[in-house]
Structure 1
């Protein structure tokens, strides 16, 4: 059980780190969101557009703090 939580924390950190890197790239917001969606889909994570926008907003707020 402990190894599962460590793996989940690692994967969560990797996703947040990748998203933060993409958010700081000098591109339009729509292009950035599309890159995030593509990266998540490659890992088997499927989100609706509203879920994805919420996730991007949440990550952006965390990065700004």
Structure 2
């Protein structure tokens, strides 16, 4: 395999990998926090941004354990 073919294969793999990463990446934390706040408000629970952050941190800790 020539060096040029190897370079093209590497670049092609990097492009495919980057595309897959974008497609399968989870939502940003900010978006998830907004969704949690919306769900809580629909249930009649009003929370501040700090309380949402604390809730997300607690849930993340419990999931990791």
Number of the residue aligned with 2:30:
30
> If the length of structure 2 is used for normalisation, what is the TM-score?
0.59
Tell me, which stretches of 5 or more residues in structure 2 are unaligned? 1-24
RMSD (Å) for aligned C-alpha atoms: 1.4
Tell me, which stretches of 5 or more residues in structure 1 are unaligned? 1-24
Q: Secondary structure at the match of 2:26?
A: coil
Number of the residue aligned with 1:45:
45
Q: For the pair shown, which has the larger CA radius of gyration, 1 or 2?
A: 2
Ranked by relative contact order (alpha carbons within 8 Å, sequence separation 6 or more), the top structure is 1
4+ residue runs over 4 A deviation = none
Using the alignment, how far apart are the partners of 2:60 and 2:45 within structure 1?
19
Q: How many residues align?
A: 41
